[in-house]
Structure 1
Amino acid sequence: MRHTRLWAVGATALVLSVTGPTAAAHARPAGPDPARQTLPAGDGWASDGTGTRGGAAADASRVFTVTTWEEFRAALAVAGTEPRIVKVVGTLNATAAGCAAFEAPGYDFDQYLADYDPAVWGYENEVSGPQEDLRAASATAQGKAIKVRVPANTTVIGVGRNAGITGGSLQIQGVDNVVVRNLTMESPLDCFPQWDPTDGATGAWNSEYDSMVVHGSTHVWIDHNTFTDGAHPDSSLPSYFGEIYQQHDGELDIVRGADLVTASWNVFADHDKTLMIGNSDGAGATDRGKLRVTLHHNLFKNVIERAPRVRFGKVDAYNNHFVAPASGYVYSFGIGFESQLVAEKNAFTLPAGVPAGKVLKKWSDAPVTTAGNLVNGAAVDLLAVHNAQIPGETLREGAGWTPSLRTRVDVPQAVPGIVDHCAGAGRLR
């Protein structure tokens, strides 16, 4: 298909044509441009106040079509906060050159393993020394290459059914009014996880890089995306020192004073620690009164935990479908410090032997509202079964607020069919 790449050069737009079949050969009836769609009024917390429009009002000179990771970074780096639209065609690979491209001179993974083998180093102290310094330098180089800042007043949108980003990390930090839609986000694979012998009784490998981070930003709409580990699920990762060589972090983090976020019609698939809202119990100075997030019509499929884990925020989670993995499931809703979660009219599909009480997990004493939820097609009082089935984790009823920013609310019996067929990238209507 013919498309153009638009680049701002000073005040002039440079248009580069890419040859291919004529547009007439693929003509379809004209319809609303998804890139200029805005969050409907009343659709979750991101519609509060000024609402969320992203780059809908962008001039033609600030509409960019990109086909490579380098073009994508350049389009987002164009100066100015005037509205912009970045259209992604195909899959952008942030790590096409491979991990070796980020290695600091002298870094040797085999030597790293030899130096910090617990039989040599022990479990009492965090690792340090030349190879750890080189690992950290390598990690810094990867971070610079795969992280990209999304400016204010921006829409990032995939074109068609097969647009996405592999190995990149979108940083929505300290800005207002951002829309991200219709992308398949394959989780970044950390090339240089750190071994921490003091993490738990037997140590752990810790990784960096989330597919998307909303950090201190407001009015963010995340819609019709697919978040996945793709070609590198945890089951494919090796183990060292008896622990999985964990190369994934989260799929979506909403943290550090972020506020007024709506995540709708997304798929979160095949991941462990998936979605975190609020990153620290000690962040009250920045997070208290913020972290207001709406999650609706999302599919959480084969997700182990954090769907989401919540601290501080007033989170409205309704009409989502949770399909637990056949093994390893820990929980869906994590009730954290000063959280006020409302979880209503969701559907849960749990495998045999997993009790409904595991849907909730108590991390701190905080109130929660649960109503109208189904587990394997049957109505279940999630709070009551949790308190009955999980000794020592009694949760309090009543989040203390009533959501009002909802547009479409489906009966929970219809949620699996609707969400499974309509959520995710490539399914914009």
Structure 2
Amino acid sequence: MNTQKWHGHATAVRVAASIGCAALVLSVTGTAAQAKPGDPARQTLAANDGWAAYGTGTTGGAAADAAHVHTVTTWAGFKAALAADGSAPKIIKVKGTIDAVSEGCDSLAAPGYDFDDYLATYAPESWGLDTDLSAEPDDSPEGLRRVSAANQDQTIKAVVPANTTIIGIGKNAGFKGASLQIKAVDNVIVRNLTFESPVDCFPQWDPTDGDKGNWNSEYDTAVVYGSTHVWLDHNTFTDGGHPDSAAPTYFGMLYQQHDGELDIVRGADYVTASWNAFTEHDKTILIGNSDSESTAAGDRGHLKVTFHHNLFSGLVERAPRVRFGQVDSYNNHFVADDSYSYSFGIGKESQLVAQHNAFTLPAGVSAAKVLKRWNVSPVTADDNYVNGTATDLIAVHNAQIPGEVLQSGAGWTPTLRTKVDPVKSVPRIVDCGAGAGRLG
């Protein structure tokens, strides 16, 4: 664990614990789900709880019969349970931590692939920075890297069908190195799981990326791609034992082995992310993956997402970065460290509403950095507090970054909210209740 990144969060947790986290969690987590007796795996999203409650709501696999309730302890067992019986309602209970790459990266490498050969072949002093590697033949170091990457892709991706609930059992359930693919389906619930971000075993060197070249990696922890009615609740997303701070450099650039923690793209709609912890990561959450007109046609009018009562701690950027979507972010706690770049990315045609959020920023980090303008799109940002003080995030941004003026007023008013907590209570409430192992 990167103790430097967690310092602010650990302090907040200690303070919260001193005023009685246990009682507080019991009083607040009940708003996150429609109350049902017995098994929490059969809980459904409460009415009005964010965009995932819109229309038909989100019930996941709550209607599953006994034959469609699975308890899994291995990666093979998990993938088999996902594939069984198509889109019939199913509940998958995850017990313990499941490693998607338990045999290590070497087990995925193509015969003949050698990283030292790769470095020697494509070093800028010999290869240069003008030609990418796309034309390299299959038997070249890059060709063998492509085969190795395809092996990892097939191994770590798990495709989630419609009408499914995936839930961790107890306080220590989750996945290492997995990429959850929620693609072109409806009605999915994912709860009470710790996800350690997948490590790209075979990043690609692109000499033409920027003026120095760059390493590019694949594999988001979770992808919501063209899907509807998805509820992500009480999960923890973290780089865990593989933080970027421990990554080496090659060719003078960070050997990047992580992509995003959560991507919501390609016309996905009606998503609620509540009571999650997003920690120790760089490019965290992307909503809408491109400005191009080829993707814009499918994204306009979609990408409706709610974030509430999430903890964003030790992150660099994208919490989230938004294109096109109507995104409602309220009652979240953002805890920054010295690696902080920004929280909210204002992208093409985005309609972000950011209200009643709390920000804990270290000395020397200005509140002007909370909002980042990528494109000219209006934003609503009021009743937000920075280090305990009410702060107009748009005004402070425009005063300190005059070349990137933000316009106020996203043009819509969120109505799908349950309880909105007083913003001064948000750090205490969220630090006590967010993340895996804290499901009430």
TM-score by length of 1: 0.92
Deviations 1:203-258 (A, max 9, x none): 11100001100000000000000000000000111110011100000000000010
Q: Which residue pairs with 2:101 in the alignment?
A: 95
- Secondary structure in 1 matching 2:45: coil
- Which residue of the other structure, out of 146, 149, 160, is the alignment partner of 2:156? 146
- Secondary structure in 1 matching 2:91: strand
Does 2:392 correspond to 1:386? no
- Secondary structure in 2 matching 1:418: helix
Give the partner amino acid of 1:115: T
- Which residue of the other structure, out of 72, 82, 86, is the alignment partner of 1:76? 82
Whether the aligned pair in 1 keeps the contact of 2:186 and 2:228 (CA below 8 Å) is yes
Q: Which residue pairs with 2:386 in the alignment?
A: 375
- Secondary structure in 1 matching 2:232: strand
Q: Which residue pairs with 1:14 in the alignment?
A: none
Whether the aligned pair in 1 keeps the contact of 2:261 and 2:285 (CA below 8 Å) is yes
Identity within the alignment, %: 67
- Secondary structure in 1 matching 2:147: helix
Tell me the CA shift for residue 33 of structure 1.
1.1
Whether the aligned pair in 1 keeps the contact of 2:315 and 2:339 (CA below 8 Å) is no
Does 2:122 correspond to 1:116? yes
Q: Which residue pairs with 2:64 in the alignment?
A: 58
Tell me the CA shift for residue 199 of structure 1.
1.1
Tell me the CA shift for residue 31 of structure 1.
5.1
Does 2:320 correspond to 1:314? no
- Which residue of the other structure, out of 335, 346, 352, is the alignment partner of 1:341? 352
1:215 and 1:98 map into 2 onto residues whose CA distance is 28
- Which residue of the other structure, out of 291, 296, 307, is the alignment partner of 1:284? 296
2:258 and 2:402 map into 1 onto residues whose CA distance is 31
Give the partner amino acid of 1:413: K
Q: Which residue pairs with 1:302 in the alignment?
A: 314
1:13-412 map, 5 Å: 32-127=38-133, 128-129=135-136, 130-282=140-292, 283-325=295-337, 327-412=338-423
2:173 and 2:104 map into 1 onto residues whose CA distance is 21
- Secondary structure in 2 matching 1:64: strand
Structure with the larger helix share: 2
- Secondary structure in 1 matching 2:402: coil
Tell me the CA shift for residue 32 of structure 1.
2.7
Aligned residues: 399
2:428 and 2:329 map into 1 onto residues whose CA distance is 18
1:312 and 1:228 map into 2 onto residues whose CA distance is 27
2:401 and 2:211 map into 1 onto residues whose CA distance is 24
Tell me the CA shift for residue 156 of structure 1.
0.2
Give the partner amino acid of 1:89: K
- Secondary structure in 2 matching 1:57: coil
Tell me the CA shift for residue 81 of structure 1.
1.3
Structure with the larger strand share: 1
2:363 and 2:213 map into 1 onto residues whose CA distance is 32
2:43 and 2:376 map into 1 onto residues whose CA distance is 40
Whether the aligned pair in 1 keeps the contact of 2:178 and 2:221 (CA below 8 Å) is yes
Tell me the CA shift for residue 80 of structure 1.
2.4
2:432 and 2:275 map into 1 onto residues whose CA distance is 10
Tell me the CA shift for residue 271 of structure 1.
0.3
Comparing 57-66 and 79-88, the one that deviates more: 79-88
Tell me the CA shift for residue 125 of structure 1.
1.2
Q: Runs of 5+ in structure 1 lacking a partner? A: 1-29
1:146 and 1:336 map into 2 onto residues whose CA distance is 30
Q: Which residue pairs with 2:433 in the alignment?
A: 422
- Secondary structure in 2 matching 1:417: helix
Deviations 1:266-300 (A, max 9, x none): 00000000000000011211100000000000000
Give the partner amino acid of 2:400: Q
Tell me the CA shift for residue 56 of structure 1.
0.3
- Secondary structure in 1 matching 2:291: coil
1:409 and 1:88 map into 2 onto residues whose CA distance is 31
Deviations 1:26-74 (A, max 9, x none): xxxx953110000000000000000000000100000000001110000
Tell me the CA shift for residue 145 of structure 1.
0.2
Tell me the CA shift for residue 101 of structure 1.
1.0
Q: Which residue pairs with 1:4 in the alignment?
A: none
2:428 and 2:212 map into 1 onto residues whose CA distance is 43
Q: Runs of 5+ in structure 2 lacking a partner? A: 1-35
Give the partner amino acid of 1:336: G
Deviations 1:333-366 (A, max 9, x none): 0000000000000000011111111000000000
- Secondary structure in 1 matching 2:92: strand
- Secondary structure in 2 matching 1:413: helix
- Secondary structure in 2 matching 1:397: coil
1:31 and 1:404 map into 2 onto residues whose CA distance is 28
1:393 and 1:32 map into 2 onto residues whose CA distance is 52
Displacement over 2 Å in runs of 4+:
none
CA RMSD of aligned residues (A): 0.9
Tell me the CA shift for residue 179 of structure 1.
0.1
